[in-house]
Amino acid sequence: MSQPLPRKESYKFIEDLDFPFREDVAKYERMAKIGQGTFGEVFKARHKKTKKIVALKKVLMENEKEGFPITALREIRILQLLNHENVVNLIEICRIKAAAVNGFKSTFYLVSDFCEHDLAGLLSNANVKFQLGEIKKVMQQL
């Protein structure tokens, strides 16, 4: 016989939990939603103090029953290890604190440098013509 799920009021203690080494995403101002995929939504945003334009990737956690998604952990670890001019730079990981308004679930964002275009977008654009050297470089990277 299954046990009934606890009521949301019993999660009130979660509001007091903090992630001291994770900044609040409120320091960024969302400008536009620029994409959505299987693993999250992506927004163009601006840092409120420095005015730097960044990309905020929201980590989707609606279907997670066992904590933080393993796919997001892998992505974070790989981006932390990579340091290359052709790989986007992971600036930081931010969060929205758990509260009653968000169902007592924290939301995490990967903050990275904003890129005006991605390879898939350039390849699908008929107006963009690659030079032979660029094609060779893309193939080498793949």
Dump pLDDT digits (tens) for 114-138: 988 888 888 888 999 999 998 898 8
pLDDT value for 54: 96
Do the annotations mark residue 57 as ligand-binding?
Answer: yes
Dump pLDDT digits (tens) for 51-68: 999 999 998 876 666 777
Q: Which residues contact 68 (CB under 8 A, 6 or more apart)?
A: 59, 61, 108
Q: Set out the domains of the chain in order of their start, with CATH numbers.
A: 8-116 (3.30.200.20)
Dump pLDDT digits (tens) for 79-117: 999 888 878 899 999 887 665 555 556 788 999 999 888
Element at 76 (helix H, strand E):
helix 70-81
CA 11 – CA 26 distance, rounded (Å): 23
71-to-75, 113, 115, 134, 142 alpha-carbon distances in Å: 6, 20, 22, 30, 20
